[in-house]
Structure 1
Amino acid sequence: MSYVGIAINNAIMIERLRNAGVENEQLINALKEENYEFLNEYGNGFPDWETLVNLYKKDEESFIKLVNEGYQIKFLTKGSLMTLLKYKFGIEVEKDYEDVGTAIQGIQLSNEAVSNIKNMLAANWKLSTYVDEKDGLTKIRIELVKSSEVVTK
């Protein structure tokens, strides 16, 4: 399955709204109607919803697909990845996983969530699983890929 490519700022805006309880249909309708009042109500703290409205208007069919079926981030920094994990899965660094430089690790999520992350990660990141020696639990590690190892999906 191929996923629609999306910039990280748009993904974070979508996940912030979802985190606040906004359903996919509500999101799509708010963008279609350019309902900035609704977007501000649920996405408090984001100053510019116009970029998301423009993304929707540019290609409505692709936007609906990415909201309903998933997306792949075009390029991702570690800070943006951690913000996305916070909004999408409610997990935070130092509480739910650790930051180890060019990677984050110790994440415990469902198989479905792990698959979701794998599909949305930009090509400059890779996800692997490991068994934590301390507690014997299977956890995930997401690490930055060296530029010579980047493989486009």
Structure 2
Amino acid sequence: MTNTLVPQPYGLRLEMMLARGLSPAEALALIRRGDAAALGERVNPELNWEGFVVYAQANDDRIAAALQDGYAFPFLTIGGMKNLLSIKFGLAEERDYRYAEGRIEGLRLTADDLAAFRRMVPSYWQFALTEAESGGGPDRTGTAEIAIEMDQRGGR
């Protein structure tokens, strides 16, 4: 488990880099070049990478640790969570899960993906197992259906 915290916009950009097939070492080398245009070309030309480059240069150790050992979001909005599900796992609202009244429902993840996702998401998001395959609980080969909602005690 990691203690490295990365703000939502920058963590999502790291996930985009990894989703594009860059290894953590390749991503770190590209980030350290400080070339926003190259990041745009290689990862996503529709995003402005300038702010990310400034953040990464000021937080090199944090970015390196996040890529090497993983990270968590200190704060994650529902929109950020939907983006994370899309970027990291290729999941889309309505096709792979439902969102209504502040709650994600019907989300199916493998046990490994669920564990990785839970490590990243702040603790004010509550996960509830709604269904599991493979003998009543998620295992390495099974999947779990979960619901996620914000803790009603105030979020943070």
AA aligned to 1:96 is D
Matches of 1:124 and 1:115, distance apart in 2: 16
Q: Which residue of 2 aligns with 1:44?
A: 45
Contact 1:13 1:43 in 2 (8 A): no
Query: Runs ≥4 in structure 1, deviation > 4 angstroms?
Result: none
Identity of aligned residues (%): 21
SS for the counterpart of 1:138 is strand
AA aligned to 1:146 is Q
Contact 1:128 1:140 in 2 (8 A): yes
Matches of 1:50 and 1:36, distance apart in 2: 5
Matches of 1:86 and 1:37, distance apart in 2: 24
Aligned: 1:35 with 2:41:
no
Alignment of 1:118-137 (within 5 A): 118-131=118-131
Counting matched residue pairs gives: 146
| Alignment RMSD | 2.0
AA aligned to 1:13 is R
Report deviation, 1:44.
2.3
Scaled by the length of structure 2, the TM-score of the pair is 0.83
Contact 1:93 1:99 in 2 (8 A): yes
Q: Which residue of 2 aligns with 1:71?
A: 71
SS for the counterpart of 2:5 is strand
Aligned: 1:146 with 2:147:
no
Contact 1:31 1:53 in 2 (8 A): yes
Q: Which residue of 2 aligns with 1:106?
A: 106
Identify unmatched segments of 5+ residues in structure 1.
Answer: none
AA aligned to 1:45 is E
CA deviations on 1:93-145 (whole Å, 9 max, x unpaired) are 0000111221102111111110111111123312221217xxx9730111111
Report deviation, 1:53.
2.1
Matches of 2:118 and 2:39, distance apart in 1: 28
Identify unmatched segments of 5+ residues in structure 2.
Answer: 137-142
SS for the counterpart of 2:109 is coil
Scaled by the length of structure 1, the TM-score of the pair is 0.84
Q: Which residue of 1 aligns with 2:54?
A: 54
